[in-house]
Amino acid sequence: MHQENTLLLSLTDKIINFQDGDIFLQGEMLEDLERLNQEISPSHQYKAELTQSIQNMVSSIRQNIKTGNVDRFKQILSTEIEKVSEMTSHNTESTSSSPTEEILSNELQTETFGVGNLDNLKTYISDTEERLANAERLILELENGTDTKETINTLFRIFHTIKGECGFLGLQSFGTLSHSIESILDLLRSRKTQQIHKAVIDLLLNGIDHSKEQLARLIEGNINYTSPGLTSFLQHCEDTAAELVQKKDSSPDFENQKVISPGSDAKTPIDTEIPGFAKDSIIRIKSSTVNYLVDMTGELLIALEQIKETSPEIRQVKKITKQIQSTTMKLRTNTVKQLFSKMNRAVRDLSKKIDKKITFQTSGDDLEIDRELLESLEEPLLHLMRNSVDHGIESSPERLLKGKNEKGSIFLSAERRGNLIKFILKDDGRGLNKEKIINKAISNNIINPDTAQKLTDDEVYTLIFQNGFSTADQVTHLSGRGVGMDIVQSVVKEYRGKINIESIPDEFTEFTLTFPLNTAIMDGIVIRLDAVYCILPITTVIETQSILYSQFSRVHDNIFVFNFRGEQIPVIDLKSHIDFYIESELSIICQKHKYIGIIVEDSSLKKYCLIVDEIVSKGEIAIKSLGPFFQGLQGVSAGTILNGGKIGLVLDIDEVVSYSKPNQVIYK
């Protein structure tokens, strides 16, 4: 028995760590299976069944070597190992029981397949976290009627995979939970109707929450965590499955086929190809390894640029190295899709709690940003979302009285503009009440009445980010304690971002969070200011011009504007306005013969004419964080290494305009 467990553990290790195309590892799997078959006693009560399972695994491995169908390969092996582990650990007297009865009778198991292998558990936890995040997003799509058949098939496949891996890792509680969810999804797969009852959606989302709890307890070292809430959920699954079976027997919405209820000994068929499942496999590596790879690729590119030789071979090596650099940079990034999915779930749950009808829409889900920033944005966006749901969106009767749609709308978008990332959260609710904000600030001694009269709209809105500030009349489970917006501001400051608020009473409130890119490759124009090299994001540049002094118009002292196609735009002499410029003599526009002007546009679409000494080149720029020592450089968002090893500073046009001396820029 001990040798059988050892071989199953060895197989588990190999399956979890298998990467597509690893023929040698598959050969080792075949050897383990051959030894396992030899270890089974001829008198074993499940001899025939065990032999068949082993043969199924052998056939699957050989088929995978030929076709490379990794998803189907892992699915079959996980299912068969689950069968083998059950047959080698149960005797003929064991009886089947419901998940609720089974989970109540289990105690913490310390000697179970794979649990002692920490690397396997880390891999499993990481993979399952991603699967659950994807499943949650798909369930919310299911609620909106998006691609119902494909969505259910993909969800079924996700929980089938989770259940299978729980089986050969010995995670019995989690395995029972995922099996119950899988069984509900299997019943839904047999339906013809595209409508899924809301109660079933709630059940599936509740299952996601219990699954996340299982992972959290597993991280703490609790292998088989149980709770009254989990027991109740499993019973709810049984009841729901029974209802679905009854509907199947009496309704034309269901096909006449065998169904699997939770707790049944029947196994899910594995010979059906499930469509819609991602074919691109995911691997896990340490962040320090990624950072080192990115840095070394950059160093390689810099070293190659020092080589003066221009032979075809050297040019090809440089081209390949740039492609490698572009790919390695993407290892540090991830899409915002998972973050947006969490916000979607939050809006759904919160609106349900306070009985408000709200639709949630997103844009820019596929935008890739730095992973660290992505993780840090979850909490501030959640606080903004709560405010929109609780304070912003009115109740349906109130909206109808105002002539609005009874359903409120919240829109969350992400976009990249130059070297900046923008997150925009907008709701069509009641808007910010400036008078109420001012009165609350005065009562909290944040401002005095005299100051209040002089505040601009932006300055009034900024008051809501004060620690402990809240305009809520009473504290609720959603808001009112005045800590959420303070958290938003702290995260934005930490990542050198900015917050902009726009609001019109009874129309909308819009929060815009803007952050500089720290990890990306962008197209930029390299400019020179004496000995300092800077980069302008190409997306902010409208055009470049050679400008004569006579084309400038002096409006006051050294304040100039330039007529750009009939529009008078401010002129900014970068050498006079950027803090990092260290020359003692300021560059002031004088009667020189000719200037180099670059017409740029900031995030608010206002145009400016930047005066520079030289436009050096245009091309792809690999952005690097400047680190804490240089974080205070005004007008600079990041850095890069240019050809020849020179340091280039990536300019933030919004900050350049903002930090330019007030008497040097006039916008008409």
pLDDT in tens, 596-644: 999 998 877 889 999 998 999 887 777 777 766 666 677 888 888 787 6
> Running DSSP on this structure, what letter comes out for residue 453?
T
- The pLDDT value recorded for residue 105 is 41
- Do the Cβ atoms of 152 and 206 come closer than 8 Å? no
Q: Show the 3-state SS of 134-192.
A: HHHHHHHHHHCCCCHHHHHHHHHHHHHHHHHHHHHHCCHHHHHHHHHHHHHHHHHHCEC
User: Where residue 77 falls among pLDDT bands split at 50, 70, 90?
Assistant: confident
Confidence of residue 667 (pLDDT cuts 50, 70, 90): very low
φ/ψ of 540, rounded to 5, equals: -95, -10
Contact in structure between 416 and 335 (CB atoms under 8 Å): no
Query: What is the chain's percent helix, strand, coil content, to nearest 5?
Result: 50, 20, 30
- Total count of residues recorded for the chain: 668
pLDDT at position 380 over 80? yes
pLDDT, one tens digit per residue, over 124-147 is 787 888 889 889 988 888 887 765
Say how far apart CA 469 and CA 441 lie, in whole Å: 8
CB 29 within 8 A of CB 54: no
* Sequence-distant (≥ 6) Cβ neighbours of residue 246 within 8 angstroms: none
Q: Is 397 exposed, middle or buried (0-12, 13-18, 19+ CB in 10 A)?
A: exposed
Report the pLDDT value the prediction gives residue 92, as an integer from 0 to 100.
42
pLDDT for the residue numbered 255: 39
pTM score of the predicted model? 0.63
Position 239 scores a pLDDT of 86
Q: Could you tell me which residue, 468 or 234, shows the higher pLDDT?
A: 234
pLDDT digits (tens, 9 = 90+) for 27-69: 888 888 888 888 888 788 888 888 888 888 888 888 877 776 6
Residue 80: pLDDT over 90: no
Q: How much is the mean pLDDT over the chain? A: 77
The whole-number pLDDT of residue 225 equals 82
For the chain, what percent of residues have pLDDT higher than 70? Answer: 78
Q: Which residues contact 12 (CB under 8 A, 6 or more apart)?
A: 81, 113, 114, 117, 120, 168, 169
Top-confidence residue, 588 or 44: 44
CA dist 25 and 13 (Å) reads 10
- State the DSSP string of 285-297: --HHHHHHHHHHH
Q: Over range 275-290, report the average pLDDT.
A: 59
Specify the 3-state DSSP secondary structure of 54.
helix
Please say if the pLDDT value at position 110 is more than 90.
Answer: no
pLDDT at 410: 95
Q: Residues of the chain with pLDDT > 90: what percent?
A: 14
pLDDT at 480 over 50: no
Q: What pLDDT was estimated at residue 586?
A: 43
CB 23 within 8 A of CB 66: no
> How confident is residue 107, by pLDDT bands cut at 50, 70 and 90?
very low
What pLDDT, on the 0 to 100 scale, is given for residue 165? Answer: 77
The number of beta carbons lying within 10 Å of the beta carbon of residue 220 is: 8
Beta-ladder partners of 612 = 596
pLDDT higher for 24 or 423? 423
Alpha carbon dihedral 304, 308, 314, 320, in 10-degree steps, equals: 30
pLDDT score recorded for residue 90: 56
What does the longest C-alpha to C-alpha distance in the chain come to?
A: 103
The phi and psi torsions of 538 (rounded to 5 degrees) equal: -60, -25
